Structure formats: structure tokens, C-alpha cells
A and B are shown apart, each in its own frame.
Chain A
């Protein structure tokens, strides 16, 4: 695929997840490109809405079936607004995949702790499904997810399905619960008391707002988790996705090339400094 110019992709399915969040299932029109497309969990595509522009969106579907690419998009700005107005059968532009992936090889044989907040669960879905499909290759899978309000919870059926997987736990929490909420209350870091953290044999995959990750990293470190086994997926302004436009710089790294998934100890200095 030409990494600089989008190619046409059709919206095969559009699913509304919450009031503002949709999951689009995309299929590349060009058959040769569709057959050769491969990605790893954690990577993202640039998705283009005609006349509006491109946005980086992580791929949430299964890397074993790269002919159908799922992207979960929250309508927050001009481009995502234009994408949100599209319907099944409409087309978008797509180029990718870009960026680094979750360390799933390194995670083999280890416990996997997933810590996410809000829409941060999307970039990890693909990794969770990877683990679930190869369940025996990994230790305990503990999924911790926080939302602001129960209405912000997406992937209900996925979370329900993961609960039923052997040796897998799902812990949900909401900052502002309503009477229907059956799960925990408070910020996601509160959930750390409810899980088992084997500091010597675990790997953390984390994605969410910077402030959430800041506190989550601090808590995990204080619970003995080594910095080099905590992985974060970050978000920054991005235009070209090929390390030419300069927008996604984060200290000495380019998020589009060196990230979005980073090993915490390698970016610690920058992550701990405000407004990098």
C-alpha cells in the first residue's frame, strides 16, 4: 500500500456503541491490497472522510482476519463528525497500518494486566482477543476498565464474553455511577486492590487519558511492577503518520513511528513532564 495516499474502503457495518461512539467495519475495495494487508494489535490506520480530513484510529479487529478492519471512533471534531455521519455502504479513505504494536510475544507465559480508561479500551481490544484466542499461551488475563459514567461503557458484549473465558477477570468501574451500575465505583486505579499483581511475571498494557495513565503507572510501580514491563499507548496530534510532518513528536520519539505503544521506562522522562 502507498503509505502516503489513501485507498478506498467501504463501510461494511456501522455499529453505534454509545451516544458518540461508533465502530466501523471497513473493507478495502482493491482486492490485491485487501489480501496483502496485515497488521499487529496496537497499530493504527489513518481514516479519511471526504472533504474533511484524516484521523489516526487504532484497529480493533482480529489481526488473523485483516480483510475486515474494525475502527472505533468517537465523534469529537470535524473529521470524526464527518465520519459519524457516514452510513453503511459509504466509502472512506484508508492508509496504514502504522506504528508500534503491543508486546504480545514478550507477554507469552506471563500474566497480562490490561488497564484502560474511556475510549482507551479500543486500542487494546485487538490484543485482548489475541490473548483470548491463544489462551493457554498466557497466564492470568485481568482486564481493568474505567469509565466516567455507565453511558460511556462500550463493548458491553465483549466485556461479557471475556468474563466467561477461563483464567480471565474483568473489572469495570465508573466515576459517576447510576442506580443500574452493578460494578465498582471510582477511578480505575482503585481496582488494583482487587487484582493479583505478580510483579515478577506480569505485563501491563495500558491506554487511556494521560492523567489516568499517570496515576495508574505510579500505583503499579509502587506495587512493585517493573517500569520495563509497563506498556502505554499514547495519543498526540498526527497528520502524516510517516514521521515527516513533525506533529506527533513526544520528546525524541515520533508517536506514529516509535509509538503509539511505548515501554514506560523508555519514555519516563517525557511522560513525567507536563506539556511535552
Chain B
């Protein structure tokens, strides 16, 4: 493990640029911390943090100049790996008929900075969904190969975080090229760093740094330990598949359906939700058309539409689909939960529906049925 001082982070940015990477990471926009292009460390949300609760997100000034002193915002890295809008193929019509042209993926060399442990788990889950089956998503796979991932160990748990109970954090243990821990204490402001890949090691060696001493290592350990104790929420996922499979007609689904607006916010902010739709975009002469893929949500009526109507026409059915997929059927499909405990769906739900609370309610013994 090495130690980088605050200025060393600028050197890290430069080292990545020198290797041809565009840097993307957290920055302030529209009163939230989102993921976007970064030129320098000054673009990071320096000295900012957030307060998150069900249905609520607010930025606050910190008393220090921390670069990563906040939890995850409404964006997730899937916007780079599974772009919200992408062309799959084009078709051209002439007197001889129709010809099809596949669209080659155009990945960018991206360095993601500030990737949290829950997000690394989310990427690993999407890897299984989009690259683990018989047919691989070529756009996702191409971008996946062109990533440099800089994890940041969480120093602040959000009010809606529950990664500890999902065993997905707060400490990033795999899936990164470099992992940073930001330390702010009486000794100053510095980072400890470890390489996760030969490529990450090589980048670290190219910037000003020295081996971390034992006090610095301990300070870094204490950062994640403290975060683990700050979790805003917890979800008991013991036997969750059997629990939900056994309760497809639980009265709680009607209760949540009365609150859910079916707006789809949860699916947009979720780092693992992968559903997409396609649309034809044609030129004005109707000679050339492109098949575009865009993010979709299982909360829309169109999502399950077949001739005659939507299969899931009630809010109850759509919320049940989302939650049982995320927490239960996902396990049968991909051998893992679809939830990483990042808390985004709770924060960004306009009516404050809390996944952890819904699971608790279904788990609770039915008062009418007795214990």
C-alpha cells in the first residue's frame, strides 16, 4: 500500500490522460453529485457532502476539503457501459430490397474515478447479465474492455445505504485497477492506494508516492470501519427468494401499489437494472432507418404489452415484478441478487418507498394469520 498526498491525485489524473484515458467521475450538477467528464481534481465535488433519506437528497458543505466525502448520487456507471441510447444496426432500402448493416461498438478509453464497492458489485452483476449468457451485448462488452477503474473506499455512508447487509461493501475488495482511501485527520489530507491489476500498479508507480507507514494504513482501515458502522439501513436477505416466491399474493403488494406512482425512477437510478427497448429512427425519405436501443422500465404499461393489452396492467403487478426480479428471480437467472444495497431506489423514489421496509413487511408474520 502506498501513500499519495493531495497533490499526487492531480498527478494521477495526468498519468491517466497520458495513457489516453478520458476521466469520468463525480461532479456537481443540478444540485446533485453526478458522473461526468473531469478535467482535473478541481472538478470533483471538493468540500461537499450529501444528506439522503427516503425520497430526499440534499447537498451540504463539509467542514473540510474532502474530494470524496459523499455517498452515491442518482447516476451510476451503467450510463457508460450500457448507454441510455445506442444504435444497434441500420437498414437501407432500395429497388433491390433491404440491406442490414451492423453498427460496430465505439468504446472510449474511460478511467472511472470514485467507483464505490457497491458499484463494483453492480458492474460485476451486469457483467453476468450482459456478457455471461449465450449472446453477449457487444456494446457493453466493448466498453467493459476499455475501462480503468479507480475505486474509492467509502468514508461516508448515506442515509439510505445498506451495503453491509447485502455483503457488497463498504470496502472494495476486487474489480478495480486502483483503490484509494481518502484520509482527513490531524495528520493532514492524503490518500492510501493499492493496485488491483498490473496496469493499476504501473500507473501508481508513475506518480509521486511513497510506501504508507503503519499509522497511515491503520488510518485508512479505520475509514471503512467507521463507514460500515454508519449504515443508514439494513436488509435481511436470508432466504429472500423463497420468501418472495411464497408471497406473490401478499397483501403488502396492494399496500405498496397504493403508494407507487409507477414513475420508473427506481429503475433509472438502479445500477443493475438493464432492461431496454428499441425504436426505429428513420430518415425523412424512409430509405434508411436505424434501430436504436434505449433504457426502458418495467414500470411502464408498454413494457409488457402484447396484442390485447398489457400483461402487468396494475401498479401492484409492476412493483411486484421489479422487486421480485431484483431480489429473487435474479438469483435463479444469474446466480446473484440484483441488489447491491446502494440505496438509490429509496432516495430517488418520489414517494419514498423503501425496499428494505417492503421486505420487512413481507417477512413480518401476518397479524391476521397469527404467528
Contact = CB atoms under 8 A, between A and B. Distances in A.
Interface in B275-295: 275-280, 282, 286, 289, 293
Contacts of B29: none
Interface stretch (B95-103, B174-182, B352-360): B95-103
A54 B279 CA distance: 10
A243 interface: yes
Interface residues of B, number: 51
B243 to A, nearest CB: 14
9 contacts: A6-B89, A50-B98, A74-B307, A236-B304, A237-B311, A243-B135, A247-B275, A274-B317, A276-B248
Given A53-B278, A237-B306, A245 B296 contact: yes
A237 B300 CA distance: 12
Nearest to A242: B135
Greatest chain B CB density within 10 A among A7, A240, A269 is at A240
B301 to A, nearest CB: 11
A52 B278 CA distance: 11
B133 interface: yes
Interface string A1-20: 01111111010000000000
Interface stretch (A58-66, A103-111, A159-167, A250-258): A250-258
Interface of B: 88-89, 91, 93, 97-102, 129-130, 133-135, 137-138, 245, 248-249, 274-280, 282, 286, 289, 293, 296, 298, 303-308, 311-314, 316-317, 321, 325, 328-329, 332-333
Contacts of A31: none
Interface in A73-89: 74, 76-77
Contacts of A5: 88-89, 100-102
B97 to A, nearest CB: 4
A276 B311 contact: yes
Contact of B97 (A4, A8, A236, A269): A8
Nearest to A2: B102
Contacts of A3: 135
Interface string A90-114: 1111000000000000000000000
A76 B278 CA distance: 19
A246 B147 CA distance: 25
Nearest to B318: A275
Contacts of A247: 275, 277, 296, 303-304
